[in-house]
Amino acid sequence: MPSIDKLKASIAESMVKRENAFAAASTLLNSVKGLTTEVQVANMCLTELTRVEKSFREADDLIVRFNSQLEESERDESHSKFAAFFETCLHIRAAQSRITASSSVASVAAPSSSSVELPIPRVELPCFSGKIEEWPGFIALFDALVHQSTSLAPVQKFHLLSSALSGEAASVISGFEMNSANYLLAYQALHSRYQNPRRLADLYVNQILESRPASVSSLPQLKWFITTHQNAINAIKALPISDLADYLLVSMSLRNLDEPSRQLFEGQSDDFPSLVQLIDFINRQLRVLESSTLTSSRSSAPRRSSRPQSPAASTSVPL
């Protein structure tokens, strides 16, 4: 095993290589940002980026390997630029794609001296904090821009996912180290936590049932009414509910059920239980309670003595 001094020297050398790769990527980003239609130059930048990425990864892997051979107190704890580096690479690739797309549009369009190139709009990912009503819009946009992309590496997708989360949602994936192998695990953990159509449906129903009645017939009150109810109804209709009328009956019925029974039913039912399932559950609970009540009454009744009385004890003795 190499000495501590040699390991530290190797770490320092690898850190220099990593810093140089990061600086090179930053230079490429500045160069490609200033381009408009120079597709060849943009492609050259992308080719150079591939070499820079390889150099950065090799240096970063060496630092991790060398540090693992040192005692914890001897390790280099310098802040890694891993996430920042791959964000820079992402911006370079996005700029190259924009230039290529702009050039393709220009070549297809009829040649005209008055033609104007329109910039491709950049779509920013919204921040998702864990509010269930914001999940459908967030995951739809993330899937389209990041998850389904073939030009992004898994670790880049992980970085973008992590950057778009805050609060409770961020804590769901906080236990996963940011690397390529963990991206799908983190994505699936987030999906399992928030992909809950039933919870969304209940939220929209509550928005309607718990709304306060309008006090007067006025323009603001009617605007509030139509906005609240129409949005909730449209959102419910968009959910994968096979029988909407049956779900609404179940939802309203469950509001009148005691909390322990409701929790027991929810733990045994499907995402969207039917009214038949609810009625069957209540009937089973009735039978259970009736049986337990009968058993309790039998056990609490006074028991008759099975020991026979002696004749002397049951008859009086004449004096």
DSSP secondary structure letter of residue 132: G
Q: Read off the DSSP letter of residue 292.
A: H
61: left (phi over 0), alpha (psi -120 to 50) or beta: alpha
Gap between the Cα atoms of 106 and 116, Å rounded: 9
The SS3 call for residue 74 is helix
State both tokens at 239. Answer: 């959910």
> Per-residue pLDDT averaged across 10-23, rounded?
77
Query: One-letter amino acid identity for 231?
Result: N
Q: How far is the C-alpha of 111 from the C-alpha of 14, rounded, in Å? A: 52
> Residues 211, 228: contact at Cβ < 8 Å?
yes
Length of the chain: 319
Q: Quick check: 125 and 164 in contact, CB under 8 A?
A: yes
| pLDDT score at 303 | 59
Residue 11 tokens, joined: 């770490």
Contacts of residues 283-287 at CB distance under 8 Å and 24 or more positions apart, as own/partner, are 285/261
Which pair of tokens denotes residue 22? 């990061």
How many of the other CB atoms lie within 10 Å of CB of 14?
Answer: 21
Please tell me the distance from the alpha carbon of residue 282 to that of residue 95, in angstroms, as a whole number. 61
74-125 per-position pLDDT tens digit: 665 555 566 677 677 777 777 767 666 655 544 444 444 444 444 444 556 7
4-105 folds as Methane Monooxygenase Hydroxylase; Chain G, domain 1 (1.20.58)
Q: List all residues 6 or more positions away from 52 whose beta carbon is below 8 Å from its beta carbon.
A: 21, 24, 25, 28
> What's the confidence (pLDDT) of residue 187?
92
pLDDT tens per residue, range 144-202? 888 888 888 888 889 889 888 988 999 999 888 888 889 999 999 998 888 878 788 88
Q: 31 and 49 in contact (C-beta within 8 Å)?
A: no
Token pair 């983190």 is found at 186
- Token pair 């690739």 is found at 93
For the beta carbon of residue 59, count every other beta carbon within 10 angstroms.
Answer: 21
On the question of pLDDT at 304 being above 60, the answer is no
Q: Which of 20, 107, 2 is nearest to 58 (CA)?
A: 20
Structure tokens at 177: 């180290």
Find the mean pLDDT for residues 200-207. 81
- Give the start-to-end residue ranges of the domains of the chain: 4-105, 132-195, 198-293
Per-residue b or e along 267-284, where b marks 16 or more CB atoms closer than 10 Å to that residue's CB: eeeeebbbeebbeebeee
d(CA 305, CA 314): 15
Query: In percent, how much of the chain has pLDDT > 90?
Result: 3
How many helices and strands, by DSSP H and E, does the chain display? 13, 0
Lowest mean pLDDT: which of 11-20, 234-243, 275-284, 297-306?
Answer: 297-306
